[in-house]
Structure 1
Amino acid sequence: MTGSMRALLWCAGLALAAAVVTYPVYANGYYLALGISVLYFTILATAWAMFSGPTRYISLATVAFFGLGAYTAAVLGETMPWPVVLLAAAGVGALTAAITGLSTLRLSGIYFVIFSFGLAELIRQLVIWYEVNIHKSVGRYLFSGVTQDILYWQLLGLTALVFLVGWLLGRSRYGLALRAIGADETAASHSGIDATRVKLGVFILSATFMAVTGAVMAPRWTYIDPAIAFNPTISFQVVIMALLGGAGSLFGPVLGVIPLVLLFEVLTATLPNHFSIVLGLIFVLIVMALPNGVIGLFGAGRWRVPLGRPAAASARTMVAPLLAVDGVGKSFGGLRAVDDVSFKVSPGEIIGVIGPNGSGKTTLLNTLSGALKPSSGTIRFGGALLNGLRAHQIARLGLARTFQLVRVMPDLTVAENVAAARLFSTSDGAGATASELLDLVGLGTMHETPAGDLTYIDQKRLELARALALQPRLVLLDEWLAGLNPSELETGIALIARLRDRGLTIIMVEHVMDAIRALCSHCIVMSAGSVIARGTPDEVLADPKVVAAYLGGEDA
């Protein structure tokens, strides 16, 4: 872009900013009201997309926080200074979001959608009960000196603030963490991301902006009752606007707000009795025709963050044993999937876990990595008791894993998948960079490739690179070599051997016995949840009990 083009764009931007700021000076009552509608829906849609865009948690609770803010202003607006009223609205919105988020954010999919819609209705009913039984009225009057011009400028300032916060969030580690959670929450947790805390924090932030917007808008109505403040149509309008513009982008929602505010004005005037039907049709058309929103047509607007500090694939020095598993069991109702398993792993070892399908191998790894809590027994890693710790806490201690069914974050690039594992690292950052890890696993030329576009084998490589990015002391490989052709298998075995030579400790569940023989110093064999043999690969593979477990008969 030439210097003159940049200057022209700057001039155009400054002219647009001046026009927006001075809009109340030359706009009459109707067009000023229209500008106010555009601004407050812009704030609501951008705040909604701040949380729901990257996580894909579709929330219908917007009006709950908006209404609480409006009612806070109605209750306090005539007795307290206006800045205090806005702070109180922010506090009420944040507190309500914190209380509800602690329980609701453990839900996902349609369950979260239903709960969020129910939350809005619950809060509306509680307000109605309070007004009728305590305040002895249906609604409240709010007489304020806030004019239309002042209301516009307040909303404009709040719009600028929500964009600034969204911009900072999108370029922080929490922005990438949110996108990782939205892509694959399980993989994100095993990459050291505290999904619950990150989701809760941004949910509170989003709800705070919604509540303040409700408080700012309250003087516009003068009389406020639950039907006005908690109109459920607002939640649906905000979702449709954000999705039309592009919820995965900071400025995408604006592209949905402007045309839909104008359209809703026309519909309200011409089809007031059919507004909800048309609203539903618009929603269906947007989902079908523009799944990534208008901004997705241009391939723009993606929130990116710096890839951050380097991470090491090498192990830290540890005193043996690194891992001590003592009498671990896991039951699912009456099914004992893992039964009284005990073993120890010293630093630098590769331990093989083998056995027929359904013998409890993956369930054992799940208990070690925090995906499942053991029903009995203890697990100690580097002296720390893992029982009761969650997956992200165990990952941060230096215990990484891959999955039997490969898990990558498909919407993130290859480099961002690796970066996600370093967002909350407590290491000093010395060692291999993300680029070096990708080179190590054979993905050095694919940094900007979306992980979902990789082949199955390359996704396995990416999963290993992401595990190594945690700077682990122990890596759990769950059938990582499965599905490789002979050439790829030879390369994979050589890679695992290099990791061992660097001092990395590995537990590998595997059915490829050539790999077990080539890599493992010690094996444990599982059948029906129990350990039936231990020893070197040659010893256990010659054990009659092992042969019988694999082939189904003692004379096999």
Structure 2
Amino acid sequence: MSGATRTALWCAGLLLAAVVVAYPYYANGYYLALGISILYFTILATAWAMFSGPTRYISLATVAFFGIGAYTAAAFGETWPWPAVLLAAAAIGAVVAAITGLSTLRLSGIYFVIFSFGLAELIRQLVIWYEVNIHKSVGRYLFSAVTQDVLYWQLLGLTALLFLTGFLLGRSRYGLALRAIGADETAASHSGIDATRVKLAVFVISAVFMSVTGAVMAPRWTYIDPSIAFNPMISFQVVIMALLGGAGSLFGPVLGVVPLVLLFEVLTATLPNHFSIVLGAIFVIIVMLLPRGVIGLIGPTRRKAPVSEIATNAPARDQSGPLLRVDDVGKSFGGLRAVDQVSFEVTRGQIVGIIGPNGSGKTTLLNVLSGALVPSSGKVRLGGTMIGGLKPHLIARLGIARTFQLVRVMADLTVAENVAAAALFRGAATSGGETTGELLDLVGLGKMQDTPAGDLTYIDQKRLELARALALSPQLVLLDEWLAGLNPSELETGIALIAKLRDRGVTIIMVEHVMDAIRALCGHCIVMNAGSVIARGAPDAVLSDPTVITAYLGEADA
């Protein structure tokens, strides 16, 4: 973007801001009310998109928090100072969001949609019960001296604060983490990202803005009852507005709010009995024709993440004793014993191969070591730290990185952002190390930093997975059939790359079916069958063992 273009955009932005601030001075009555509607829907849609846009969790709980804010204002608005009322609305909304988020953000897909909708209805029913049985009323009156002008400026100030929060979040490591979670939550967790905590924090921030908006809007109605404060149509309208404008961009929802607020005004006046039908039709049209919203028609809207300055430093660690010790580890699924009393040690700088027929428990063992599964029995120690049963993000931060049997990249993030997501959340490190660019050069992706990961070829996605694992500055790398599916030329390149890592002193456990790679790379080999270890030792010795030949290689390979 040229300097002249940037200056022109700044001038246009300042002019628009001046017009918006001065709007109450030259608009009154109906047009001022219309401006208020646009502002409060802008806040609700943008707050919704702040969480749901990157994570793709479709929430219908907007009206729950909006109603909480409105009822907080109704309960305390006439006795408390107005700033205290707004703070109370924010606090109550945050507490409710934290409680519900802890129990629901592990859900995904249609389950989260259903729960979020049920949450709004549950809160509405609780308020109705309280009003009828305790307060002995149907609703509450709120007499306030707040004028339309003041209401507009309060909403405008809240809008500015929301955009500032969204701007800072989008350019922080937590914004990148949120996008990584939305792209592939499993890969994000194994990159050191505490998915639950990040989702919960942003969900609470979103709920706070919704709750405060409800409190600010309460004086507009004077009389507040559950049907007004907890009108489920608000949640659906907010979702449609955000999706129309583009939930993946900070300013995208505004592009949906403005036309739809105007359209809803017309529909309410002309087709009051068919409003829901038209709303549903609009939703279908948006999903089919504008999957990325209006903002998606303009061009890419990627937010710049802190990538170039990241160095993957090598942490100072205890070098005494074995790096990894596995003692009698078992994993059961009901009556199936997938891993049965497996024990071994890995020393630093060693490449250990794990081989065995399909279904022998190799990947299950790696899942236990990386935290994807909790062991049913036994102990796993990394250095002197017991890691069995820890969450994947904690194990990743302690120094175990992995790739997956079925390649997992964060498809919507760029190549550099995939690596940065891991580097930003690895454990504490000392000075020195490699930058994101240097790691990508190492695996052969140095010229593809800005390429979306989903556009990479299969081998390049495997390279990216490896670079993301190395970005954690790991003590141990787990490669789960990393060479599988490669053609002979790619296989030769892949073996050479792993050999280069070995020469750098990287410790690796590799599950593999390519015997040439096991012979060329591994100093020690473990053979599993039916969940148990049936042989161990140097690759040539193990591969000539009659028990191994019978269980895995077959007589023809002897």
Q: TM-score, normalising length from structure 2?
A: 0.97
Distance 2:279 2:432 in 1: 54
Residues 51, 206 of structure 1: 8 Å contact kept: yes
2-structure distance, mates of 1:5, 1:475: 47
CA displacement, residues 472-520 of structure 1 (integer Å, 9 cap, x when unaligned):
0100000001111222212211111111111110000000001100111
User: Is 2:106 the partner of 1:98?
Assistant: no
Distance 1:326 1:352 in 2: 18
| Larger CA deviation: 25-34 vs 546-555 | 546-555
Q: CA deviation at 1:449?
A: 0.4
Letter aligned with residue 366 of structure 1: N
Asked if 1:221 is matched to 2:201, the reply is no
**Aligned residue for 1:415?**
416
Instruction: Answer with 311-320 or 23-32: which moved more.
Output: 311-320
**Relative to structure 1, is the Cα distance of residues 2 and 466 closer, same or farther in structure 2, using a 3 angstrom cutoff?**
closer
Q: 1:2 to 1:181 in 2, by over 3 A?
A: closer
Counterpart among 438, 447, 450 of residue 448 in structure 1: 450
Q: Which residue of 2 aligns with 1:122?
A: 122
Which of 544, 547, 550 lines up with 2:546 in the alignment? 544
Q: Does 1:47 align with 2:47?
A: yes
Determine the C-alpha separation between the residues in 1 that align with 2:320 and 2:174. 34
| C-alpha distance in structure 2 between counterparts of 1:310 and 1:131, whole Å | 57
Residue matched to 1:439:
441
For residues 529-540 of structure 1, the aligned pairs below 5 Å read 529-540=531-542
* Aligned counterparts of 1:428 and 1:257: Cα–Cα separation in 2: 48
Q: Distance in 1 between matches of 2:544 and 2:337?
A: 27
Letter in 2 for 1:195: A
2:344 is equivalent to residue 343 of structure 1:
yes
Alpha-carbon spacing, 1:61–1:276, altered in 2? closer, same or farther (3 Å) = same
Q: Residues of 2 paired with 1:423 and 1:160: CA distance?
A: 28
Q: CA deviation at 1:413?
A: 0.3
Aligned to 2:302: 302
Give yes or no for contact 2:315–2:430 (8 Å, CA) kept in 1.
no
Partner of 1:62: 62
Kindly provide the amino acid, as one letter, of the partner of residue 281 in structure 2: L
Distance 1:257 1:103 in 2: 31
The corresponding residue for 1:354 is 355
User: Cα distance, 1:388 vs. partner?
Assistant: 2.2
- For the 8 Å contact 2:316–2:429, the answer to whether it is kept is no
Q: What is the deviation of 1:428?
A: 2.8
Cα 1:216–1:555 change in 2 (3 A) is: closer
Name the structure 1 match of 2:520: 518
Residue 302 of structure 1 deviates from its aligned partner by 2.3
Q: Is the Cα contact below 8 Å between 2:51 and 2:202 reproduced in 1?
A: yes
1:3–1:404 CA distance, 2 compared to 1 (3 A): closer
> Kindly tell me: are residues 487 and 315 of structure 1, through their superposed partners in 2, closer, same or farther at Cα, counting changes over 3 Å?
farther
1:507 aligns with 2:542: no
In structure 2, runs of 5+ residues without a counterpart are none
Identify the residue that residue 141 of structure 2 maps to in structure 1.
141
* Alignment TM-score, normalising by the size of structure 1: 0.98
8 Å CA contact 1:331–1:337 kept in 2: the answer is yes
Q: What's the offset of the Cα at 1:6?
A: 5.0
- Residues 239-388 of structure 1 correspond to what in structure 2 (within 5 A)? 239-307=239-307, 308-312=309-313, 318-388=319-389
Report if aligned partners of 2:314, 2:431 keep a CA contact under 8 Å in 1.
no
User: Which residues of structure 1 form unaligned runs of 5+?
Assistant: none
1:297-334, Cα deviation, whole Å (9 max, x unpaired): 11143222111421047996622300000000000111
Higher mean displacement: 338-347 or 295-304: 295-304
Q: 1:59 to 1:189 in 2, by over 3 A?
A: same
Q: Is the 8 A contact 2:313 2:430 kept in 1?
A: no
Contact 1:314/1:431 (<8 A) preserved: no
CA displacement, residues 509-534 of structure 1 (integer Å, 9 cap, x when unaligned): 00000110011111110000000001
**Within 2, Cα distance between the matches of 1:220 and 1:95?**
25
What is the identity, as a one-letter code, of the residue corresponding to 1:279? L
**1:553 positional shift:** 7.7
Question: Which residue is equivalent to 2:477?
Answer: 475
Match of 1:159 in 2: 159
Is the 1:354–1:510 contact (alpha carbons within 8 Å) kept by the matching residues of 2? yes
Equivalent pair of 2:70/2:218 in contact (CA under 8 Å):
yes
- In the alignment, residue 507 of structure 1 is paired with which amino acid? I
Residue matched to 1:496 = 498
- Does the 8 Å contact 2:373/2:389 carry over to 1? no
- Whole-Å separation in 1 of the counterparts to 2:21 and 2:415: 42
Contact kept? 1:69, 1:211, Cα under 8 Å? yes
Count of aligned residue pairs for this structure pair: 556
CA separation of 1:492/1:67 partners in 2, compared to 1, >3 Å: closer, same or farther? same
CA distance in 2, matches of 1:324, 1:91: 47
SS class of match (2:311):
coil
1:276, distance to aligned residue in structure 2 (A) = 0.7
Q: Secondary structure at the match of 2:493?
A: helix
- Aligned AA (1:36): I
Match for 1:205: what amino acid?
Answer: I
Query: How far, CA to CA, are the matches of 1:212 and 1:531 in structure 2?
Result: 60
* Structure 2 SS opposite 1:297: helix
SS at match of 2:161: helix
Is the Cα–Cα contact under 8 Å of residues 91 and 208 in structure 2 kept in the other structure?
Answer: yes
Offset, 1:16 = 1.8
Q: Secondary structure at the match of 1:330?
A: strand
CA contact (8 A) 1:314 1:502 kept: no
Aligned to 1:192: 192
